[in-house]
Amino acid sequence: MELEMDKLVSLCKRRGFIFPSSEVYGGINGFWDYGPLGVELKRNIKDAWWRDNVQMRDDMVGLDCSIIMNPRVWEASGHVGGFSDPMVDCRATKERYRADQMYVFAYVFPATNAKGEPTEAWLASLGGSPEEAAGPAEKRAAKLAKKFGKPADEPVITPYLEIADDDRIKVIGPSTDEAGTLTEPRSFNLMFKTFVGALESDSNVAYLRPETAQGIFANFKNVVDTARVKLPFGIAQVGKSFRNEINPRNFTFRSREFEQMEIEFFCRPEEAKDWYKYWRDARFAWYTGLGLKSEKLRLRDHDAEELAFYSTATADIEYAFPFGVSELEGIAHRGDYDLTQHMKFSGKDLSYFDEEKKERFTPHVIEPSAGADRATLAFLCEAYAEDEVAGETRTVLKFHPRIAPVKAAVFPLVKRDGMPEKAEALYRELKRSHNVSYDEKGAIGRRYRRQDEAGTPFCITIDSQTATDDTVTFRDRDSCRQWRVPAAGAAQAIRDLLDGTPVPGAE
């Protein structure tokens, strides 16, 4: 089944996963609120990340830095000078596009015709990936070639920025048919500016952090001096970041306020290549382990031209969202660039002394940098399914139990014969260790459907047989299989099912 984004967005709204921010006032572009189910889902993803990458390891410590830092941090990091995206505007449609995300499908004509006179070159262009560009753009390019009576050479697909200043080529914006409506690429700084203190003067300017990473570098010495860490080790942080994205889009994928889950892993320079490979594979495995198992998840190594000047290797973990293949996380080998920059700008020594080897040097860094909102969106896309149950179509979110917002729902089959009392007692018991819900409203089939849409992996029903043999009915969300479990063992069964321990009757 091909997921349509509209269906997911409307389910998220209807079931309280994600709402547009300040919707009662008409919303605000690029900002989103997580509702009661969404906050549990995103929290479970962040908790799983923290547990697996920080608490379960011996070589990682955590940090929680302030969002506003000394603005010199952003001069050192290069964000004040260079943190901007080249954008192009379409004069006809008033749409704005990121130039580096536009690909053009081009018929390039020779500069001169047979008589040696200049000929024109015509292009069609489309936003999005090269794969997307090929279809509709090809047709439009062919139409244009016909319109202008030009023979076309072999078509090429090429990034817009690479051809933008070739005056033989006319680019047509994604939503128009006329050439020449696009402006030259222009840069916009993406940092949100504010003022600290009473005066709104240049000397009081500060920035909302555009990434959590720099807080880690700025605290490198504090951690080394206080946490008794030895290379190789990492510092991890989860928190809000802010970017004044010119073109927020694709639901939460490109937001102006979002959360990052970042690691800076410090090591000896000669070990950095191996650690880069390790993190590249470990981070990919983390997503598959939590259920992003389909071929939609990919690991893509950057070409030499794509690398930042200080990086010797970078890979992106990408997911094929309904709107195209896009980045979930980047893993970058950053060398000693960041610590060196902060030493230069702060004047402080941020080198490391290896006690055993009696050597002082600047550590190299591997940076796995993930987005909590993008991960949440990918898990939602992957989990969304429509299937047939008892002759009816149901919508179900097949989350891995570890990230499911609600782990189990407890129902009395009917509201009499002592069933609600028993169900409520079991609900209270389970609630001590898990996020569970209680529902006694409506027919049992409707209650199952409600939980399926919320992604609850298990439902437990107290029915008439409970009164005779003290067992309850368990039901599995994905297979809809049902089996009986002694009421006294229900809490243990839930713990086992969530841990992946085999449970009699469940398989």
Q: Which residues bind ligand GAP (CB under 6 A)?
A: 211, 213, 243, 245, 254-255, 258, 260, 262, 327-330, 367, 369-371, 373-374
Supply the minimum distance, in Å, between the C-beta of residue 66 and ligand GAP. 17
Q: At 227, is the secondary structure helix, strand, or coil?
A: coil
Between 42 and 374, whose beta carbon lies closer to ligand GAP?
374
Q: Round to whole Å and give the CA distance between 270 and 257.
A: 37
Supply the minimum distance, in Å, between the C-beta of residue 38 and ligand GAP. 15
Between 330 and 412, whose beta carbon lies closer to ligand GAP?
330
Supply the minimum distance, in Å, between the C-beta of residue 331 and ligand GAP. 10
> Could you give the angle at which helices 490-499 and 419-431 cross, rounded to 10 degrees?
50
Supply the minimum distance, in Å, between the C-beta of residue 337 and ligand GAP. 12
Which tokens in the block code for residue 169?
């080529």
Amino acid at 103: Y
What DSSP line would sit under 394-445, residue for residue? EEEE---TTT-S-SEEEEESSS-TTHHHHHHHHHHHHHTTS-EEE--SS-HH
DSSP H helical ranges for 148-268: 160-163, 213-218, 220-226
Report cis status (omega within 30 of 0) of the bond before 151: no
Q: Round to whole Å and give the CA distance between 365 and 276.
A: 9
Supply the minimum distance, in Å, between the C-beta of residue 95 and ligand GAP. 18
Between 85 and 463, whose beta carbon lies closer to ligand GAP?
85
Supply the minimum distance, in Å, between the C-beta of residue 155 and ligand GAP. 31
- Pick from 205, 200, 208: which is nearest to 244 by CA? 208
Q: Considering just the CA atoms, what is the radius of gyration of the chain in Å?
A: 27
Supply the minimum distance, in Å, between the C-beta of residue 377 and ligand GAP. 9
Residue nearest to ligand GAP (CB): 371
Between 237 and 437, whose beta carbon lies closer to ligand GAP?
237
Q: Round to whole Å and give the CA distance between 505 and 450.
A: 24
Between 315 and 503, whose beta carbon lies closer to ligand GAP?
315
Between 49 and 384, whose beta carbon lies closer to ligand GAP?
49
- Pick from 315, 319, 271, 274: which is nearest to 296 by CA? 319
Between 209 and 422, whose beta carbon lies closer to ligand GAP?
209
